[in-house]
Structure 1
């Protein structure tokens, strides 16, 4: 931080914790899953692409020898304190692909065990830690029961699902999840990481790409489909208090998508008679996006122009993506923004959305 500049408080909305080993879940599982995981470890849907540079920051290895992201004490020293983070909202790296596993009962059991582990082994370690519980989307009714089971815990601030899916998230089969989110006053957080893996559909509209670079670049396609589905299926009319966070999927694709959606709605609104407002109005009132990875063009003025095209100062939440390779330092990004807007994006928007004291 430069001398003389205000030190901004930060709420980091995407911090990834991990297991120490795949045996961490064993004490939190019921049979027959306990014996299975004890013998064979646990399995998710998998990701069909490998990053050529790995997935972690090279300086994030804890001195304890634990895996990156698995030491809650080191995370405080390496992330929370240096960057003035008031709250780190934890989002498990390990659970990203579980909804891509074919066995719905297995996936639900793993999520339930993880949530108990998460509350006991992470959320209890520091007042700086809050987090998102995990659910498996294969069985939305079971997922809703899991939200009701642990969603009232005071350190649980959201429900996370993965971007990969067999259907757009606005469709009715997923609505029990949103009913449970509303009952428990929790935002839904969508995070990428397993598109194209397991039982999920292909990661792009035209099928499978060839490598991680293409996969990572095309992730906004998934978010576009889910966002349009939420709006056009009437989810925000049906659940007027529901909030949805599109995490780690980029930002600047939003304005042209909303222009197109609003334009088409004017001519084709008969197909969505339940909508009472323009689609972009629902998005502004119900949807949020995280800053990482922010698309920063060579000309900084172009980014400011994009931010003016949607309600960026009220819709963006800061995220670092710690401890991943593309970690964003809050002291370095968005330097061209006025201080008032940075305060909102770095702190105030998340404090209000997640009802943090």
Structure 2
């Protein structure tokens, strides 16, 4: 099978070589704390029994391919002839740490490290800046500090929260993101850890298999909150990207919200459109991990229901175990739909040349 002619990968997990990478960008008392104890509080209640990385995501000399810009280029960007790779990292999990000042210091150091050590290496690498959501005012100041950088293309948040993202508590973050023309991405990874809520609607589960399967529950709840609390009415230029939360659940969620809106709209007087229309106007979902039914035609039907060619963004999730190879996924798409999902939607969203 041929590769799509143009590809933008919207979820590439570059990594630190060690916690010492951040030390030059930290001030005291955080610098000494990280030197002595490493980076604390990044999630990890549920861990994969097969490990996080693909077994082949290492260089011949044993180096982690995700920790070096030249190896990300070799193993992913050049190997698949990609036009851009959107770096998403993993420090967004600091938002579940109980100490807001510590978390803010870590993500600020990470943002400086990203800009200093990664983005200058190749014009195909674009960055997602991280903020700590425990203190939205500090987060907004960080967006004002980092957001103007030309290679920063979005703000990334953790999907694990103790307050849903539609709550006005987060409005300073959205106001700053909109001010700088940056989409807000939501990514999983720390559900059930730190100060976040339980990882599922039923509570705490006993293993990674259950945790990983139920991640889409969190995305559904966050999206309902964002739409029905009127975030897009208050911030009409704001865009959201739901990263790594699955996609097949979206049609039924839109149907359910639209049906309930007809009877319960008095509870959301600020909404001026059907809930599904706000999603179509303001939201994108990344493809990985794409659902894989036994009958591929069933997924194509779901794509038709959700207007997939205008709402999906390709992502590989490199270098993780459930990496999606652009050779392999979404084979039944038309050439036009494939061009939009693999390239054009992201190019327009991130304002890439």
Name the TM-score, length of structure 2 as normaliser.
Answer: 0.98
Preserved contact between residue 199 and residue 211 of structure 2 (Cα < 8 Å): yes
Q: Which of 249, 254, 257 is the equivalent residue of 2:253?
A: 257
Q: Which residue of 2 aligns with 1:121?
A: 117
1:266 aligns with 2:249: no
Deviations 1:14-54 (A, max 9, x none): 00011011111100011111111112211124221121111
Distance 1:26 1:127 in 2: 26
Q: How far off its partner does 1:68 sit? A: 4.2
Q: Which of 293, 296, 299 is the equivalent residue of 1:297?
A: 293
Preserved contact between residue 160 and residue 188 of structure 1 (Cα < 8 Å): yes
How many pairs does the alignment contain? 353
The alignment partner of 1:248 has SS state of coil
Q: Which residue of 2 aligns with 1:46?
A: 43
Distance 1:180 1:310 in 2: 29
1:220 aligns with 2:216: yes
Report 1:176-191 matches (<5 A): 176-191=172-187
Preserved contact between residue 56 and residue 68 of structure 1 (Cα < 8 Å): no
The alignment partner of 1:309 has SS state of helix
1:344 aligns with 2:323: no
Alpha carbon RMSD of aligned pairs, Å? Answer: 1.0
Distance 2:9 2:315 in 1: 5
Preserved contact between residue 158 and residue 186 of structure 2 (Cα < 8 Å): yes
1:104 aligns with 2:97: no
Q: Which residue of 1 aligns with 2:233?
A: 237
Q: How far off its partner does 1:340 sit? A: 0.8
Q: How far off its partner does 1:74 sit? A: 1.0
Q: How far off its partner does 1:66 sit? A: 3.1
Deviations 1:279-319 (A, max 9, x none): 00000000000000000211111111101111210000000
Q: How far off its partner does 1:188 sit? A: 0.1
Distance 2:300 2:251 in 1: 13
1:91 aligns with 2:88: yes
Q: Which residue of 2 aligns with 1:21?
A: 18
Q: How far off its partner does 1:165 sit? A: 0.1
Distance 1:7 1:166 in 2: 40
Preserved contact between residue 92 and residue 107 of structure 2 (Cα < 8 Å): no
Q: How far off its partner does 1:84 sit? A: 1.1
Preserved contact between residue 159 and residue 191 of structure 2 (Cα < 8 Å): yes
Structure 1 unaligned blocks of 5 or more:
none
Q: Which residue of 2 aligns with 1:134?
A: 130
**More helix per residue:** 2
Distance 2:228 2:269 in 1: 9
Change in 2 beyond 3 A, CA 1:7/1:268: closer
The alignment partner of 2:73 has SS state of helix
Preserved contact between residue 131 and residue 155 of structure 1 (Cα < 8 Å): yes
Deviations 1:226-251 (A, max 9, x none): 10011111000000000000000000
Q: How far off its partner does 1:216 sit? A: 0.4
1:9 aligns with 2:29: no
Q: Structure 1 segments of 4 or more deviating over 6 A?
A: none
Q: Which residue of 2 aligns with 1:75?
A: 72
Distance 1:175 1:12 in 2: 28
Q: Which of 329, 334, 346 is the equivalent residue of 1:333?
A: 329
Q: How far off its partner does 1:271 sit? A: 0.5
Structure 2 unaligned blocks of 5 or more:
none
The alignment partner of 1:131 has SS state of strand
Q: Which of 233, 245, 248 is the equivalent residue of 2:244?
A: 248
1:172 aligns with 2:168: yes
